[in-house]
Structure 1
Amino acid sequence: MMWTLPQPVAKADEAPPPFDAWLDGVRQEAREKGIAEETIRVALTGIEPVRRVVQRDRNQSEFKLTYQIYHDRLLTPTNIRVGRGKLEKHRALLDQIAAEYGVQPRFILAIWGMETRYGAVKPTMPVIPAVATLAYDRRRSSYFRRELFQALQMIDQGLIPHSEMLGSWAGAMGQPQFMPSSYMAYARDHDGDGHRDIWSNEADVFASIANYLSKHGWHDDQTWGREVTLPAGAAFRAAIPAPRTGSGCRAIDSMSGAMGLADWQALGVRRADGSDLPTRNLPASLVEPDGADGKAFLVYRNYQSILRYNCAHLYGLAVSQLADAIGRR
């Protein structure tokens, strides 16, 4: 049975189109973008909105759970143990990729582990219906419409057969869970076999994750940040720099403004164990994922690169702390 999504926002004097009429508009725009008629026929025939895709979009755990619950679900002894094993198994390859892209191996592995449990989770959702559903839905229609055309371009260019284009409920693909636009911009063919295979080739998976972080401002002479303790009182709260908004990522916009570690030290901020902050005066911002009564973290520029992968503090902190756990001897 076909299920009808909430209708897209329409002008007051016109009725919103049904899905089939909306899809006809997608087909026409695809033709105008130069996508082959055969690709349009194969990819856009017989698709319907997928109800569970919208349900998942409205119930993402990164925006509903507390820090501690999310942390405990994902930073399990098994995930840490497997990550350390993968580090040993792929050390030579990861060191090579780290040297090329300037991203430490533990962070590559942490994102791999968070996204698909080091490749063990195999996404099974056809990408085109998933992305089309979210493009038709009103919440993020512009973003997913662009992703839909990127997915069609991938098929049209022969980068992956339509039948093999499988991903998550939101259309994220392969072991690093790249959206179609991220695949087109950042996926890499590390082993030189002519294919950017993020589905089954670990060399390409690692290089693609590293390239994504590198292109989003990663510095391999820094870590991500650390948990800290904060002084009590209104005076400290008044001294916290105001957030800088307009980044396009709500999580980044919710962080405090940045100031040097020496300034945070002078305000009374200390490491989680009570010791002094590092003496290197890196710019750092304050993150409090559960508000002023929860845990606190000072984060550096690399943390923002992780948030560009997934714009949610619970995700960014979990990746960061998993990386620390994998790299800890």
Structure 2
Amino acid sequence: MRKGMISACMAAALIVSPVMAKPGFEQYVASLKDEAREAGISDALLERAFDGIEYHERAVSSDRNQPERRLTLDEYIPRAVPDWKVAQAKKLYNQHYDALKKVGEQYQVQPRFIVALWGVESNFGKLQGSYNVIEALSTLAFDGRREAFFRKETMAALTILQQGHIAPEDMKGSWAGAMGQSQFMPSSFINYAVDGNQDGKKDIWQTEADVFASAANYLKQAGWDDTYTWGRQVQVPEQLDRSLLGTGADKGLLLSDWQTKGVRRMNGQALPKVDIKAWLIQPDDEKGRAYLVYNNYQSLLKWNRSHYFALAVSHLADRIKFD
């Protein structure tokens, strides 16, 4: 029995607590407080925001250990946009249609893209993250790999608290500090969050009117144009010059130019006869899926630089409309 007790104690000692004491972290937090005071954050709020926070080992582990194997788009899209999510998206689209239509008209963003972003970012608000945002950001700033970025985000999060949009104990998010149903980083909140229901607070955690308006405002400021959609999957000729691929400013060609180069719709038919610039992307390899994407897709990339993210949102938006 004694041997069993010793083994159990040794096993427990090997388990790393997700929140732990860390030499130097307390002093680092003190420097964050000093910087925040200089920026006008009150002492009362600082004491409340930093009360009880510790170094969060799990946040650092998540930051440093991203999955090495990446799914192909053929594997990823069905997982990111499963039938059950499409059904839920359509149901919520219809349920909130009046509010979405109003926001869509105000910001000139098609409502289906607002719902698609909502679904991809947080499963329609169900998966917002449970990390204390101030604790996660302070930990990642202290870790040092991207100190300047996370220190700036910590200051932005404190500004949000100072403005009274949410209480410190309710400011929850991902391990990286992305917050609410729209998963805005604090700096994105400062720049794009909107008080959609006019109650004096920008609440992207619980208030859907604010979530919808904030997402639409982000897209609009990122250059969205509701005259057009995002793009389409295409067939690419084997002999196409692959130096043409990419989303750089110098890579965009008119659809008529892509037509001349042999790019076709997935059914083999000619591309639309529309005078619009498009970019050709093939995120996996020369045998993977290819897409011609428009400027609205570029706006999605400003939200998140991942092609996988932007394509998941785009496919979900299309299925809301066409299924």
Which of 234, 238, 244 matches 1:240? 244
Deviates more, 1:296-305 or 1:26-35: 26-35
- Indicate the SS of the match to 2:234: strand
Question: Counterparts in 2 of 1:1-329, with a 5 A limit?
Answer: 18-60=24-66, 64-233=70-239, 236-237=240-241, 240=244, 244=248, 257-329=251-323
- Indicate the SS of the match to 1:139: coil
**Between Structure 1 and Structure 2, how many residues are aligned?**
306
Contact 1:56–1:169 (8 Å) recurs in 2: yes
Cα displacement (A) at 1:241: 6.3
Which ranges in structure 1 are unaligned for 5 or more consecutive residues? 6-16, 246-255
Contact 2:193–2:214 (8 Å) recurs in 1: yes
- Counterpart code for 1:269: V
Which residue does the alignment assign to 1:10? Answer: none
- Indicate the SS of the match to 1:228: strand
TM-score, structure 1 as length reference: 0.87
- Counterpart code for 1:240: L
Q: Quick one: structure 1 residues 315 and 238, their matched pair in 2 at CA, closer, same or farther if it must change by over 3 Å?
A: closer
Partner Cα separation in structure 2 for residue 291 and residue 44 of structure 1? 46
Cα displacement (A) at 1:54: 2.1
Cα displacement (A) at 1:60: 4.4
Deviates more, 1:23-32 or 1:298-307: 23-32
Runs of 4+ in structure 1 displaced over 6 angstroms? none
Q: Quick one: structure 1 residues 73 and 61, their matched pair in 2 at CA, closer, same or farther if it must change by over 3 Å?
A: farther
Contact 1:62–1:312 (8 Å) recurs in 2: no
Partner Cα separation in structure 1 for residue 205 and residue 37 of structure 2? 28
Partner Cα separation in structure 2 for residue 61 and residue 202 of structure 1? 32
Cα displacement (A) at 1:120: 2.3
Which residue does the alignment assign to 2:4? Answer: none
Q: Quick one: structure 1 residues 143 and 24, their matched pair in 2 at CA, closer, same or farther if it must change by over 3 Å?
A: same
- Indicate the SS of the match to 2:278: strand
Q: Quick one: structure 1 residues 324 and 59, their matched pair in 2 at CA, closer, same or farther if it must change by over 3 Å?
A: farther
Which ranges in structure 2 are unaligned for 5 or more consecutive residues? 1-16
Larger Rg computed on CA atoms: 2
TM-score, structure 2 as length reference: 0.88
Cα displacement (A) at 1:47: 2.0
Identity %: 43
Cα displacement (A) at 1:121: 2.4
